[in-house]
Every structure is written in structure tokens, then in C-alpha cells.
Structure 1
Amino acid sequence: MSRKAYLFVEAEPFQSASGAINAWVEEELRALGHELERHNHYRPNAGDTGIPLANARRLLTLRSRPPADLAVFCDLGLGIHPPSRELARRTFVFFHGLHGQPTLWLGNPLIDLYGTLSPYLHDTLSSLLMTPDWRQRRCLDPRGAQVVGSLVPTLPCLEAAEGDARLPGGELPESVQEALDRGEVLGHAIQPTKANWLAVCSILLHLRALTREHGHPPVRLVVAAQDFALIQHALRYGYPFPVPALAAALQSAEAGLEDLLLPVPHLKQPALFRLFREARFGLAYNASPEPFGMYVLESVLNGCPIYTNGAGNNRHALPPGHGIIVRESGEMAAGAPNAYATVAARILQDLLAPGPVREECQRGAALIRRTFTREAFSASLRACVDRLESDTTTPHWSFDELVVRLSPLVRRLDEASGAFSSDYVNARLSPEERDLMNELLGRPAGQLGHGETDLARMEGLFDKGVLSLAPPAGAEPPRPTWGAWSWYPPGSAFLEPSLLKDTVTR
């Protein structure tokens, strides 16, 4: 018997990477026998931005119908209609990232199951839902990790070598081929709005000095045209972010921005993959955490290694030795002038002797082809739907059984100084906070927060994203698709500080 379902997603099918995932979700739901009605866009038209007339009509229309069996939302799709039992009997929300409509999903009891695109996002979302209230002895969502499921995204280029023709974009501009013809070495960083440009330009300036010193051909980084224009604007006007250090460094190097960066428009997938095959490296020194990392995987799949600070899932997307090189240090987090020189030195080393990193990418490509398949995506989504229909969301543990772990957000923690880098903030713990952290790690919540501990300081460690709660060992909810990420460690949430090195190299 056909079941009625709504799908609320911001991106239209195959209009972006998110749109491709949305389309695959739609295809799988239809294959499972759902009579599906899709809604796109938080703002139905330009006029609705100022006066939400079209939204009012859409809400009225939806609320005049009997409830559907299932409502499926992406994170941004929650802006189209809030979850409600009047809308659907069951609600499933899957996340491209955690930036959309947080007050509509954080601790919302009307959401029956959450779906995440990576183990990193799974652990991060779980830790958010298990944000503790020590006075009331409860979590933000008492169901916690029990209502978080896992999806295994696929890549368009695994079904067609040149990618999906429905994804929009233009051809590779002639300026790229002209640079190659001049003997320039090209890298790439064309994820708009994601890069930490002060870090990226610092790497490039150090690389420029090293290549001149070694008589190596010049290196330029292919970037999105909109990012190039943004940096130009910042250099000229000091807005939207101040760049005096970058301006001074460019002047000292007697270089213009165009000596470091080569702008290109948004590329369709065949052009993007051609760039990856021509480029010798990619940079993913991102300012915001990556929820999955399709871009870095596509680069490795096409034989181009990625150097990254590991923000978000970029540090987990592939195991060490598979084409993603994670380098981050306390000096980088502190903004030390020469902190990124080691990254430039590693890139030059691999440019001069490319054999080892080429072999890494070959191993990575083979693993990607085995892992991120359409079959794995299908199985993981169907497992989530089965969990929704089985209605088994009762927690298997109490608040007091939850265990204090290092947060999955933490990328680097120096125990001696207390300096840490995370996907939330870079900061330094006080000596008192360091002592308290070591006292708390590994202990069940039932032993804590009864007055013998500095409660405000303890809460501060959770609010800074240094500590989180996790299910007790052996009592974690089932993860039916976990084998697809067999290299993923139990997560930063399960590592002791002594295991986190000041500089991580993969």
C-alpha cells in the first residue's frame, strides 16, 4: 500500500552537491513505495523575503490536508515548515551541515530520527543533543544518541566517471590552460566561502619563496572567482574582514594577489575533474567544519592530494596514507607569522618527489570506490526508515550512566599549555580548567555535579566544546552502516588528551 510522504529540502535536485543528495533521498523514498510530494526553498520567491505571502499560502495548504505518514527534512528545509504531528506521523531530519534552523531541531521531541552524513557529524550531533543540565540531571534531549542515525553519501562520479551532467557549471577557462602552458604548477581551493584565506595565502607566500629558492616553477592556486573578488575587496577596503598582515606580506614579497591566485567561475563536474587531474595539490584549510567532504574525496579520486587543517570531517574522510594530509599546530591556531611554513615545505617536498603521495591517492581512490557507493547510500537510508517504523527510540541508559569524553569537536589539545584547536573555537584552558578536565574525563555523570565540583567551571568546559557526554562503552545505539567507515576511530570524543598531538600529520 502506498504511503504518503513529504520531502522538504532547500536545494533543488542536482543544482548543487546538496541537491544531488536530496535527489538521491527522493529516489530512495519513492523506491520504498512512498507517494512523495517535494517542496523546495525556504523563500518561494524574491518578494517573500520581505513579506512572506507565498509562505503563508503554502502553510495554509499543507495544514488543510490529513497528516502524511512521513515528513523528511534537510537541515535548511526545516525553514519551509516546522515539524509537527499535524503534518506527519513520523519526522526524519538529515543534515548537510548543522547551520540550518538550529532552534527548530535542537532537542525537538517531534523529530523521531536524525540522519548524518559522516561519523564525525554523528558524534557531533549526539554531543549537542546530550548537552547536560547538571542541576536537573538531564540532557537537552533525553533520547540523545539513540535518535541519531547514519547515512553513507555517494559521489556522482562513482556512477559516471565525469560526474553527473545535471549538476550546473561552466567549462574550465582558457586562463588555466595558459598557466599550464607557461609551466606554472597549479593547486586548487575552489569551495566558495569555506577557506581561511589568511592561512591559505600564508601557505602560498611561503611556497612562493621556497620555489624561487629551489629554482622550481611558480605555483598558483585556482580559486572561485567570488572568493578572489572578496579578498580583493578586503585588501582594498579592510572589509568584510581585516587583512593588514596579508597586505604587508604581499608587499614584502613584491607580489600581487593575482601572483598567488587564479580565479575561475563555478565549474561543471567534467571541468572540475579535469582541473583536479591537472593540479598537483589541493588546499582545504577551512574556517568552517566540513560535515562530509565530497570535494576532498573527488580530488583524491582524481589523483590530486589534499592538504588540510582537518576542520570537521576532513580529518576523518579517509584514513592516514590515503591522499589527505592533515597538518595543524598550535602556532597556526595562534596566528604565528611563520606557522604555515611547514605546510609549504611539505607541499614542495611532494612536488619534487611525487611518487609517495601519488601512491597515497591511488590507495585513497580504491577505498573511495569501495566505500561511497550508491548501494551503501541506499542501504543506510533504508536502515533509517526501518528505525522510524520500528519505533524503538527509548533510551537504553539514564543520565547518570552517560560518560564524560573529550568532545568530537577537538582537533588538537596541548596538555602542558592548555591551548586547543577545535571546530568551534581556538582557545586556552586555565590551569584550573586543565586539572578539572583531567579529573572529569572517563567518569560517569552520576558521580558528578553534586556540589563537590566547581559547577560553573565544569559547565564552561562543555560550553567551549572541550568536553561532551557519550553513551557508556558497550551501550551505544546500533550503527548499521558503520562498516562503511571502518577506519573512523571511535572519535575525538573517545580520545584522551595525551593522545592528541600538537601537530597531526597524515
Structure 2
Amino acid sequence: MSTRTRLYLEAEPFQNAAGAINAWMEEELRALGHDVERFNRHYPNAGDSGIPVANARRVLALHSRPVADLAIYCDMGLGIRAPNRELARRTFVFFHGLHGHPATWLGNPLIDLYGALSPYMHDTIESLLLTPDWSGRRCLDPRAAANVSTIVPTLPCLESPDGEGRLPGVELPRTVQEALDRGEVLGHAIQPGKADWQAVCAILLGLRAQAREHGHPPVRLVVAAQDFAMLQHVLRFGFPFQAHALAQALQAADATLEDLLLPVPHLSQPALFRLVREARFGLSYNVTPEPFGMYVLESVLNGCPVYTNGAGNNRHALPPGHGILVHETEAMAAGAPDAYASLAARIFQDVLAPAPLREACQRGSALIRRTFTRAAFSSSFRACLSRLESDAARPDWAFEDLVVRLSPTVRRLDAASGRFRSDYRDDQLGGEEQALLPRVLGKSAGDVLRGAPPLAPLEALFDKGVLSLATPESTRPPGSTPGAWAWYPPDSAFMEPSLLRDPGPR
């Protein structure tokens, strides 16, 4: 008898990169003999946002079906219908990102397994589920360490070297080739809605100054047309963020947005790859933490290095020396006017002498092809399904056994000043918090409690996303993805604050 499985997914097959992963999951299920029904998107029509008549009808239709054996959700798909036992006997939720319906999944006892697309996401989800209540000696979801698994994504282009043709998009516009014909140096940053534009424009203004100083052709960055339009709007109206400093910097450099940026519509994968192969660098200085980092991996795979602040998994997507250069300094975090000048100079020198980074991208490309394969995706996804069906007793840890560590979202922490930058927020520790940090870091929750620390600063360290709890390494269940991300930092890398002070570019 086949397993009845229902998919509640926001993106339709090959609608975008998330849709490609969704489609491969469906293919795996069908190959295993599952009887699959798929439901996409959670707003049936625009008018339904006022009075949800169509949603009421859709929910009724969902409950009119027999109970399924398995329900699989993506994070945004949780908006289609919250998990319950009337829909399915078991529930699996996997995350393209963490922006979808957090109150629906955080600590929900009806979710049997969580799936992450990178070790960074695995640790971040686990840390959220283990959010502590120190006075009650408990955490949000004590099952967390045993209920989070990792799937190894593959890249759509690995089976289609010139780009996955089923993903939507248009051909490369003539303006790009015309710029190349004029001898311009092009970079790329085509991730709509993700960039830190103050940082990106500061880098580009630095590159403009470098090019003028050396009598070199102009350097421009190819960006999504919607981001370009948004920046025009910001410079004119000062909304949705203040851009006075950017406007002044442009005026001082006698530059316009058009001098720095070259907008393009949403490109097909073949068109994107043609652009990346011509580009000399990529920028991924983002405000949105990347859950996996497909874009930066695709760039390296096509021979183009990427410079990034490392938001999200971008700092873990490849090991150092493989084409992704993570560079973020205290001056950048503080918003100093000349904070990006040295990075612009570094990029310009790499453009003039590209051989070392070309070799780094070759190493990165080989590692990508070995690691993010369709076979690895298949085996890791099937391991998740087996874990769902397993009746083996899962280990249970006492709250006192959990270990205090730096949150996996922390990118930089200066022990002397207490300033930190993370994927959650940038801030400075208060005096009590700063003094308490070395006393609790690396200790078990039981040892922390026996030390009777002041509760307010202890909770603040967790609420600011600086500290998190994790299970002891020796008691963790075996990983379901052996060999993948062998370079991902072990727990010890999160233990010592000095390790997170600026190491320089890598």
C-alpha cells in the first residue's frame, strides 16, 4: 500500500530556486512510491485578503480529504494550513528561510521533524527551539536536538551546466554586452531585496575612485531592475530607509546611480551564467541572512569570485581559499565613512591580477561538484523520511545538560568593547552582560544555575541573540549527512569570543 503524502509548498515546481528544490522532493517521493498531492501558495486571490471567503472554502476542501500519512511543508507553506492530525499522521517542515510563519512552527508539538538546508540553518533552528526559560529550568522545545535534520541541497545547474532551462527569466539585455564592448569591468549582485545598499554603494564608489586613479575603465555592478528602481525612489523620497549619506557620497564623487549600477530584468539561468562568466567579481553584502547560498555557489561554479559580509550561510558555504571571500570589519559594523575603502582597493587589485582567485574558484567548483550532488540530496532527504517513520526512542536531555555557546548567528563579537554584529541584530552588550559572558560561555546550564547569575543580564544575552543553548556534542544523534560540509565550524568555534574578532579577508 502506497504512502499518501501531501505537500504544502509556497513555490510551484521550478518557479524559482526554492521551487526547484520542491520539485526534486516531489520526484523523490514519487520514486519511492508515495501517492503525492501538492498544494501551492496560500492566497487564492487578491480580494481574499479582506474577507477570506476563498480561504475558508480551501480549508474546508483540505479537511474533506482522508487523513494523509505524511504532510510536508516549507516554511512559507505553513500559511496554507497549520499542521494538525486531521490533515496527516506525521508532519515534516523544512526551511528555505526563516521568514515564514514562525509562531506556527516554533515549539509546535505536532511537527515531528524539522529540515534545514545547511548546518548553519540546522544550528540556528535548534538554537531557537532551545530558547531557555532559566527560572523554570526548561526550554521552548526539548525535542529540538533530536528533531532537526539536514538536507544537502543540489544546484539546478549541476545537471545543466549552461543553466536550468525550466527556471523562468529573460535573455541577457544588450546593455550588458554593450558595456563589455566598451571595456567596462562588470560585477554582479542580482539578489532582489537582499543587499545592504549603503555598503554596496560604498564599495562601488571606492572602485570608481580606484579606476580613475589608475586610468582604468569604469567598474559597474549589474543589479536587479527592481532594486535599481527602489534606490532611485529612496534617493528621491528618503524611504524606506534614509539615504542622505549616500546622496552626499554620490555628489562628492560626481557620480549618479547609473555610473555605479547596470539594471537588468529577471534573468533566465542560462543568461545569468553568461553574465557571471563575463563578470570579474560578485558582491553579496546582504542584510538578509542566506539560509543556503545557492547564488554565491553558482557564481564560484562559473569562475567568478564573490566578496561577502558572510550574512547567514554565505560565510560557511565554502571553506576559505575556494572563491568566497568573507570580509567584515568593526569599522563596517560601526558605519565609518571610509570603512569599505580597503575592500574596494582589494577588489580592484584582484581585478588587475585575477589568477589567484581564478584558481580559488577552480578549487571551489570542484568541491561544489563533489558535495552538492543530486545523489547527496536524494540520500539526505530519504534519511529524513526514514527518521520520520522510525519508532526508535529518541534521546532525551535534561535542561541542566544543555551547553551555553555563542549563537550560530553571531558574525563578530569584540570581547573588549562588547560590540557585536549578527544575522539577528547589531548592538553592544551592557556592562553586566559583558561581565557575565565569559562566566557562562561553554558551561552547562546546570553549572550556570549553580553559579546563581543575575537573571536579567543572562536573559538579555539570549534575547539579543548572542548566546544559545546546544546539546553536548558527545550525546548528539549521528548526523544524517556524513561528508557534507566537512568544513563547517565545530562547536568549539563558537565558544571563544576572541575567535570572532576580525581576522581580515579570507
TM-score band, normalised by shorter chain: over 0.9
Partner of 1:92: 92
Q: Structure 1 unaligned segments of length 5 or more: list them.
A: none
**Counterparts of 2:488 and 2:482 in 1: how far apart (Å)?**
9
1:98-113 → structure 2 map (5 Å cutoff): 98-113=98-113
Give the partner amino acid of 2:195: A
Q: Structure 2 unaligned segments of length 5 or more: list them.
A: none
1:257 matched to 2:242: no
1:158 matched to 2:158: yes
Tell me whether 349-358 or 306-315 shows the greater mean CA deviation.
349-358
1:128-277 → structure 2 map (5 Å cutoff): 128-277=128-277
In 2, are the aligned partners of 1:413 and 1:497 still within 8 Å (CA)?
Answer: yes
In 2, are the aligned partners of 1:408 and 1:492 still within 8 Å (CA)?
Answer: no
1:47-58 → structure 2 map (5 Å cutoff): 47-58=47-58
Tell me whether 134-143 or 111-120 shows the greater mean CA deviation.
134-143
Partner of 2:4: 4
In 2, are the aligned partners of 1:412 and 1:501 still within 8 Å (CA)?
Answer: yes
Please give the per-residue CA displacement for 1:358-389, whole angstroms capped at 9, x wherever unaligned. Answer: 00000000000111111000000000000000
Please give the per-residue CA displacement for 1:416-469, whole angstroms capped at 9, x wherever unaligned. Answer: 111111000111113321220100011111122368211111000001110000
Please give the per-residue CA displacement for 1:234-291, whole angstroms capped at 9, x wherever unaligned. Answer: 0011111110000000000000000000000000000000000000000000001000
Q: CA deviation at 1:503?
A: 4.2
Give the partner amino acid of 1:76: M
Give the partner amino acid of 1:77: G
Q: Secondary structure at the match of 1:146?
A: helix
Give the partner amino acid of 1:216: H
Q: CA deviation at 1:57?
A: 1.3
TM-score by length of 1: 0.98
1:360 matched to 2:354: no
Q: Secondary structure at the match of 1:71?
A: strand
Q: Secondary structure at the match of 1:54?
A: helix
1:344-355 → structure 2 map (5 Å cutoff): 344-355=344-355
In 1, are the aligned partners of 2:493 and 2:499 still within 8 Å (CA)?
Answer: no
**Counterparts of 1:269 and 1:365 in 2: how far apart (Å)?**
17
Partner of 2:380: 380
In 1, are the aligned partners of 2:299 and 2:305 still within 8 Å (CA)?
Answer: yes
Partner of 2:311: 311
Q: Secondary structure at the match of 1:38?
A: strand
Give the partner amino acid of 2:193: T
Distance 1:426 1:35, change over 3 A: same
TM-score by length of 2: 0.98
Tell me whether 348-357 or 388-397 shows the greater mean CA deviation.
388-397
Distance 1:375 1:44, change over 3 A: same
**Counterparts of 1:494 and 1:379 in 2: how far apart (Å)?**
29
Partner of 2:417: 417
**Counterparts of 1:83 and 1:109 in 2: how far apart (Å)?**
10
**Counterparts of 1:228 and 1:6 in 2: how far apart (Å)?**
39
1:331-346 → structure 2 map (5 Å cutoff): 331-346=331-346
Partner of 1:330: 330
State the identity %: 71
Partner of 1:436: 436
Q: CA deviation at 1:310?
A: 0.1
Please give the per-residue CA displacement for 1:15-73, whole angstroms capped at 9, x wherever unaligned. Answer: 10111111111111111111000000010222222222222112112212321100000
Aligned residue pairs total 506
Q: CA RMSD in A?
A: 1.2
Please give the per-residue CA displacement for 1:297-318, whole angstroms capped at 9, x wherever unaligned. Answer: 0000000000000000000000
